[in-house]
Structure 1
Amino acid sequence: MEKFEPVVVAFCCHYCAYTAADMAGSLRLCYPANVKIVRVPCSGKVDTIHILKAFEGGADGVYVAGCMEGDCHFKNGNVRAAKRVRYIQKLLDDIGIGGQRLEMVNLSAGMGERFAEIARQITEKIRKLGPNPIRNLTGPLSEAAVQISKELQLQ
């Protein structure tokens, strides 16, 4: 049997988490290539539908990466995102996908090493959980990621 390689979607806020991901790349830090980054203006802009669409599109795991608490460029977007993630985790448990497939993390722009470590940890966690139960029932993830990116840019 071939080894399962999960697809993980990372919704990263523009100011901190995305910059941390960029720094990880600049430092040539290794993190799994199966982490698909979607840059968002603020983690608070990631709505329930965006996360559910990622799972529907075939993602095995999702994480929302925002600024450090108290340092959000949009005041409290990361706090709203954390509340939303907790709500969606319960929803995912209720519908049989599993809330442990979704996480919220906080990063500052200078945390490139931490970004790479989180990407590795979440990928390993999802690898142990196995494929998304609805993965084979839906279309390709790349189409869903493109659509989500477009929707977020219009807001």
Structure 2
Amino acid sequence: MGMYKPKIVAFLCNWCAYDGADAAGRARLEIPSAVVEVRVMCSGQVDSGMVLNAFEAGAQGVMVLGCQPGDCHYKKGNLNAMKRMALLRAVLKPTRIDPRRLRLDWVSAGDGKRYARVAREMVDTIEQLGPATQTPGNEHQ
């Protein structure tokens, strides 16, 4: 899309997704520069406020990446993330923030190839959607 350079905030669980991102770096896999990584202890720790704050700060997309279901360091943190992100998508529908701008996915520790693929797919999705014109909180202006 030419000059459009989106910013995507990626919340990475410390135990799996962050290690996957690190593995991608060690393998010298190309990670789009649009992705800004934020390390969190667990994907289940990422709440709606964190996601909405990222959008309000100018992110065009947000990814929440955690451990594979059944493999969470905190037992059910990623399942909590799944419920929370489903609710947040429902909340986003009446706003002008397209729910496709929020992605929840799973990246196993050491799976750099999967991390690189998920990051590229998200950037592609956001580039196809184009710039978001609204942020949460000002959709009624």
Aligned to 1:124: 124
Q: What is the CA distance between 1:2 and its match in structure 2? A: 4.3
Secondary structure, aligned partner of 1:10: strand
Tell me, which stretches of 5 or more residues in structure 2 are unaligned?
none
Amino acid at match of 1:80: N
Is 1:102–2:102 an aligned residue pair? yes
Aligned to 1:59: 59
Q: What is the CA distance between 1:89 and its match in structure 2? A: 1.0
* RMSD (CA atoms): 1.7
* Structure-1 separation of matches of 2:23 and 2:93: 34
The 5-angstrom pairing of residues 4-15 of structure 1 reads 4-15=4-15
* Structure-1 separation of matches of 2:130 and 2:93: 15
Q: What is the CA distance between 1:90 and its match in structure 2? A: 1.4
TM-score (norm. length: structure 2): 0.92
Amino acid at match of 2:134: I
Q: What is the CA distance between 1:104 and its match in structure 2? A: 0.4
Amino acid at match of 1:67: C
Where does structure 1 differ by over 3 angstroms across 4 or more consecutive aligned residues?
none
* Structure-1 separation of matches of 2:119 and 2:81: 19
The 5-angstrom pairing of residues 25-104 of structure 1 reads 25-104=25-104
Cα deviation, 1:114-143, whole Å, max 9, x if unaligned, reads 1001100100000000112236x99xxxxx
Secondary structure, aligned partner of 2:93: helix
* Structure-1 separation of matches of 2:5 and 2:55: 15
Secondary structure, aligned partner of 1:95: coil
Amino acid at match of 1:93: K
The answer on whether the counterparts of 2:22 and 2:110 sit within 8 Å (CA) in structure 1 is no
TM-score (norm. length: structure 1): 0.84
Counting helix residues as a fraction of each chain, which structure ranks higher? 1
* Structure-1 separation of matches of 2:32 and 2:82: 24
Residue identity over aligned pairs, in percent, reads 45
Aligned to 1:151: none
